[in-house]
């Protein structure tokens, strides 16, 4: 029941906003629907915590501690982003960059995108997972090109084609998976694509077919995670789309895509009984971390900078999942959480910062702390958090990942350290003059919604200092599930 | 298997080879309208082969997906595409990134690679169409090649759709098709994606006065 509400509310929101999205109260309606979804997700979490994992609707939906935690995270960041987008989009509208009609498209698609992500997270059916991932791409393509500028059209086209091709590979992988499963589970009752059934018989699935399937699935969903060398769409889409969209793409969509990869990895690892899938994840992850970090140096656009930082962090998370085992998985889940909270809060401040300076070019953004202390300090603290400074939560998860890597795969440590060091130097050097320094730009016409920023950062800080027992237990259960 | 007349398997193999032939023809064509016609033919072959598989294997639900193919890929999409290029005046794909003979050679290598990759799967399959899995994979790769070597937005989209054809063919020949819900979901995604692309064409043309993707190369790392 809760599952249907979590899925239904954003759909209802999309419908309502398609009708009223151009009105004055649309932004409030958007935030309200997101809040309702968050409440529903909270009930779902409570239920899973109390009764353990559950199956619903002829086993088509499945909730365990792994995905319910992502559902909660998605609902939460979805809500805070809706709060942030209210003043942000108003300013954009005032400056004539968006018309009410565009805002209607934006609001409606925002809700549809949330619905697609929830479907991807909650479904038990690997085919439906694919359909939902594709739907999530489709609903954001028009959001990336919302400003209809040349650059945004190019970014959206690239996003569409690259992710379209990627997702086609994932479909072939899904077909292969079905092909292997059908021989064990049969065609009747449609169980051959249900993850729970596949997981139960994964030892009997034909290893060679599953190995091949995993290559296609990893390349396909990996494109959406933004793993190098398939990451080309990511910086463009993040930089050219409206900032709330960058925040949810970076904070949520990448996580959901990685979730799909991990679900597949569990099956394949069980079938072929070797570490090969884990090794592949480690390689892709390490490569993305290093490539992302080095590209940070060359960025001039503030949103591109943090887009590359997302590539780096998704690489680190993928790498940790690749190591596997309870500790690395725990660290990866923690890093997923703190990265998505921190990165979305950075995009919130970066969005307001570029509105204040009327440019996304970092050379033009100066002296934020003087114009608006909340924006300036928000950006500074967010950057420190994402760079893994103690006592923020990112430090805890990165430390765990690094020590586990040192113990189990010592050869990877230098690469990780280089990636972290280069990223630190690059981001710190660029953020520092933006926050301090001189400027005479006037403050923003609407007071920026920076409450979400500080809530996110406070949560990241809390996770770094003290992890609540229930949450740690929850992560541990999820880490065990992934194996 | 309920009833499988002896002519079914040879004719399915024939259809599969035709599919591969069309993929090569698509690589060599430069007129966009020809490409659309070829794409429609691909759809027609898919429709026929799905019907044959449905008849011989007794899986009734395959008739539905065959009907879906007929409506979507043989009638609706080609018709919309024809109208689109007439309205946009984009009949020619003037420039190729790689010349046609080279493309053909690369295509040949891809086909061999596809057959090698599909070999273990074909050996394990129990369907009567198992020999054609390699061809399905080859169609996917060739469509991919077409997307890489062409510059016009519309041509890339046709390549994308042809790739989907290959995937559909792979699903039918390896497993007698995916469950109906999934097929419907895929078809819905395809349709929505196509409409978004249609919107896109107009946006791109409004901004750039052309559908040539050369204009879409401003976003690069400096």
Closest by Cα among A6, A27, A45 to A89: A27
Pick from A175, A208, A209: CB nearest B178: A175
DSSP three-state, residue A194: strand
A106 within 8 A of B160, measured Cβ to Cβ: no
Cβ–Cβ of B153/A157 closer than 8 Å? yes
B84 within 8 A of B198, measured Cβ to Cβ: yes
Chain A residue with minimum CA distance to B207: A150
**CB contact set of A226 (below 8 Å; sequence gap of 6+):** A233, A234, A254, A288, A310, A311, A314
pLDDT of residue A295: 94
Q: How far apart (Å, rounded) are the C-alpha atoms in residues A380 and A366?
A: 13
pLDDT in tens, A186-244: 877 678 889 999 999 988 888 888 999 999 999 999 999 999 888 989 999 999 999 99
pLDDT band at B143 (very low <50, low <70, confident <90, very high): very high
B64 inside 8 A of chain A by CB: no
Q: How far apart (Å, rounded) are the C-alpha atoms in residues A75 and A117?
A: 10
pLDDT of residue B94: 56
pLDDT of residue B221: 62
A151 inside 8 A of chain B by CB: yes
Provide the shortest C-alpha distance from residue A59 to chain B (in Å). 14
* Both structure tokens of B104: 């053909």
* Both structure tokens of B134: 């390699």
Cβ–Cβ of B192/A138 closer than 8 Å? yes
A224 within 8 A of A163, measured Cβ to Cβ: yes
DSSP three-state, residue B152: strand
pLDDT in tens, B80-115: 888 888 887 766 655 667 788 888 999 999 999 999
* B1: pLDDT strictly greater than 50: no
Cβ–Cβ of B140/A164 closer than 8 Å? no
- A–B interface: beta-carbon pairs under 8 A: 128
A338 inside 8 A of chain B by CB: no
Q: How far apart (Å, rounded) are the C-alpha atoms in residues A69 and A396?
A: 19
Pick from A130, A165, A206: CB nearest B124: A206
pLDDT in tens, B145-197: 988 888 777 888 888 899 999 999 988 888 887 887 788 888 888 888 888 88
Residues of A in contact with B189 (CB under 8 A): 131, 134-135, 138
* A124: pLDDT strictly greater than 90: yes
Q: What is the mean pLDDT of residues A286-303?
A: 94
Q: How far apart (Å, rounded) are the C-alpha atoms in residues B33 and B50?
A: 26
Residue A22: φ, ψ to 5°: -90, -10
Provide the shortest C-alpha distance from residue B147 to chain A (in Å). 9
Q: What is the mean pLDDT of residues A272-290?
A: 92
Residue A129: φ, ψ to 5°: -55, -45
∠ CA A43-A46-A47, rounded to 5°: 90
pLDDT of residue B3: 58
* A419: pLDDT strictly greater than 90: yes
Q: How far apart (Å, rounded) are the C-alpha atoms in residues A312 and A164?
A: 23
The percent of residues in chain A predicted with pLDDT above 90, rounded, is 67
Closest by Cα among A214, A203, A40, A218 to A118: A40
Closest by Cα among B43, B31, B117, B124 to B78: B43
Residues of A in contact with B219 (CB under 8 A): 151, 154-155, 158, 236, 240
pLDDT of residue B95: 61
Provide the shortest C-alpha distance from residue B186 to chain A (in Å). 6
* A135: pLDDT strictly greater than 90: yes
Taking only residues 157 to 186 of chain A, the set having a beta carbon closer than 8 angstroms to any beta carbon of chain B reads 157-158, 160-161, 164-165, 168, 171-172, 174-176, 178-179, 182-183
**CB contact set of B202 (below 8 Å; sequence gap of 6+):** B88
pLDDT of residue A438: 79
A297 inside 8 A of chain B by CB: no
pLDDT in tens, A392-413: 999 999 999 999 999 999 999 9
Provide the shortest C-alpha distance from residue B121 to chain A (in Å). 7
Closest by Cα among A195, A172, A199, A215 to A61: A195
A58 inside 8 A of chain B by CB: no
């Amino acid at each position: 029941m809760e599952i249907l509400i979590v899925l239904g509310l954003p759909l209802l929101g999309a419908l309502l906003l398609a009708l009223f999205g151009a009105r004055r109260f649309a932004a409030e309606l958007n935030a309200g629907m997101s809040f309702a979804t968050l409440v529903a997700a909270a009930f779902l979490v409570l239920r899973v915590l109390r009764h353990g994992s559950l199956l619903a609707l002829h086993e088509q939906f499945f909730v365990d501690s792994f995905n319910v935690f992502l559902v909660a995270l998605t609902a939460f960041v979805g809500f805070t982003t809706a709060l942030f987008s209210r003043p942000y989009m108003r300013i954009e509208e005032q400056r004539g960059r968006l018309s009410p009609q565009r805002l209607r498209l934006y609001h409606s698609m925002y809700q549809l995108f949330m619905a697609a992500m929830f479907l991807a997270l909650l479904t038990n059916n690997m085919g439906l997972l694919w359909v939902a991932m594709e739907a999530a791409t489709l609903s954001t393509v028009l959001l990336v090109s919302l400003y209809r500028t040349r650059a945004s059209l190019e970014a959206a086209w690239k996003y569409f084609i690259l992710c379209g091709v990627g997702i086609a590979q994932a479909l072939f992988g899904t077909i292969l998976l079905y092909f292997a499963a059908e021989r064990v589970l049969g065609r009747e009752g449609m169980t051959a694509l249900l993850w729970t059934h596949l997981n139960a018989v994964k030892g009997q699935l034909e290893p060679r077919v599953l190995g091949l399937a995993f290559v296609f699935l990893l390349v396909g969903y990996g494109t959406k995670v933004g793993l190098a060398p398939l990451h080309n769409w990511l910086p463009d889409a993040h930089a050219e789309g409206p900032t709330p969209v960058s925040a949810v793409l970076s904070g949520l969509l990448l996580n959901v895509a990685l979730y799909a990869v991990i679900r597949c990895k569990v099956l394949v690892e069980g079938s072929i009984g070797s570490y090969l899938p884990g090794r592949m994840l480690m390689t892709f992850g390490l490569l993305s971390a290093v490539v992302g970090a080095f590209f940070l140096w060359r960025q001039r656009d503030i949103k591109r900078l943090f887009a590359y930082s997302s590539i780096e962090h998704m690489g680190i998370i993928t790498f940790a999942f690749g190591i596997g085992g309870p500790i690395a998985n725990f660290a990866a889940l923690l890093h997923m959480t703190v990265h998505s909270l921190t990165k979305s809060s950075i995009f919130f401040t970066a969005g307001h910062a570029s509105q204040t300076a009327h440019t996304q070019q970092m050379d033009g953004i100066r002296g934020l702390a003087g114009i608006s202390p909340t924006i300036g300090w928000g950006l500074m603290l967010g950057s420190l958090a994402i760079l893994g400074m103690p006592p923020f939560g990112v430090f805890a998860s990165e430390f765990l990942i690094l020590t586990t890597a040192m113990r189990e795969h010592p050869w990877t440590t230098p690469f990780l350290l280089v990636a972290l060091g280069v990223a630190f130097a690059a981001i710190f050097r660029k953020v520092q003059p933006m926050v301090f320094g001189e400027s005479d730009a006037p403050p923003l016409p609407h007071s920026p919604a920076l409450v979400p920023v500080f809530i996110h950062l406070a949560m990241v800080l809390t996770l770094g200092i003290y992890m609540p027992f229930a949450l740690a237990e929850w992560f541990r259960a999820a880490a065990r599930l992934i194996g | 298997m309920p009833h499988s007349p002896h002519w079914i398997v040879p004719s399915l193999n024939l259809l599969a080879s035709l599919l591969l032939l069309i993929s090569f023809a698509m690589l060599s064509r430069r007129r966009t309208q020809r490409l659309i016609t070829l794409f429609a033919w691909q759809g027609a072959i898919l429709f026929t082969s799905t019907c044959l598989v449905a008849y011989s294997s007794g899986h009734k639900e395959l008739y539905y997906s065959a009907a879906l193919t007929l409506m979507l890929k043989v009638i609706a999409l080609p018709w919309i595409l024809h109208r689109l290029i007439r309205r946009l005046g984009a009949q020619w794909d003037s420039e190729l990134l790689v010349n046609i003979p080279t493309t053909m050679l690369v295509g040949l290598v891809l086909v061999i690679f596809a057959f090698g990759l599909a070999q273990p799967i074909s050996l394990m399959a129990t369907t009567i169409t198992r020999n054609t899995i390699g061809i399905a994979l080859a169609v996917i790769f060739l469509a991919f090649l077409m997307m890489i070597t062409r510059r016009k937005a519309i041509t890339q989209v046709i390549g994308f759709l042809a790739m989907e054809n290959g995937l559909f063919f792979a699903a039918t020949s390896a497993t007698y098709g995916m469950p109906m819900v999934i097929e419907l979901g895929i078809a819905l995604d395809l349709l929505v994606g196509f409409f978004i692309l249609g919107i896109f064409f107009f946006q791109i043309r409004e901004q750039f006065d052309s559908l040539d993707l050369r204009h879409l190369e401003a976003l690069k790392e400096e």
